[in-house]
Structure 1
């Protein structure tokens, strides 16, 4: 019996054929996800799966594209599947420590995000390098209290990553914005990060929304500037 190929596999095969035949010269930039989705009549998620396979096959080198993206030790991170996957793809071995998972009420944040409810599920975590145990980030994720997420304060994350929990709950980021600043960390932050109060860290605020514009996640991160940088592309 002939195996049925999935949609993303069909797209992978079509684009691979174009690249190998020389129809698309080496180094030529592929059309964007939106254009490819329209061409093949599929979702952008399906297109991303196809691009991931092409990348694994060494036929293309993917990155987040024009705009802004985060670098770790000079290497671009595609964090659409979460920090853990993005860092692992670059061969960077890290572990995550979950400090707290709780329901919080934040009227100011809800107003800023244009939300009707001030209730969020907050997941507070640090990330450290396995090699030397240094803490490289302190992250607070604010999620909508939808089924599959609102139970987290009682159930915890278990063996799942936060990204996996979000996907299971139907929270799929499609677009958003990210802001970056530099500031000195306070006493509590210094304790969490194992640094000295007053040390400089990068402060990023990223808000993700689904394709329909609904709220998916707001993340406040403190990133070690010795490792993390933000790259901007234009033109």
Structure 2
């Protein structure tokens, strides 16, 4: 059974090292890639005011946070909740940096000591969509995740949206488990495997009409490129005539 925690924070500013603090943490739980409803959510008194720019992002006033618990009061609840799980975060370096700083103030080891791994969905998105905007809002639009209720950033709402984004980013990842022959069921995590050797795939040769259409397409490409297409040079090369048994 795979347990994953999707986590987001809101902060007083951008610099944990500069003294900014966490003001909100929101987490949602996934078991076998399904939301369980076992969420964790705290507003936290950061013992300092938020920067004006940060207020514009999250809209959580300094006055609202005055009577909320300090991080020290909720730290053990957070640790118990994330213990042993894979934690999924968008732009993980930011949130982990803040959490580690809060733990450091309390003499508690950092995130690596408590979770099985941290997965950064921003890094995943950059690999899948290089050169494109990969903010949470951009990914929601691209993956058709409804974020119409997100007028301001909020840790729990953002964690819920990110869970949906993550499921879409990794959809189909585990759909086909290939039997590699030398991997036992125990080594593969006890998951069922599909043995592809039982399938016989027919080889369908192109018919005359299809070959003619293909040749016509090559001629059009030759003409459009000024006879500079690479495959003609490959066909003419002596090694191209070698047949590999």
**With structure 2 as the length reference, what TM-score do the two structures score?**
0.22
More strand by share: 1
Relative to its length, the structure with more helix (as a share) is 2
- TM-score for both structures, normalised by structure 1: 0.22
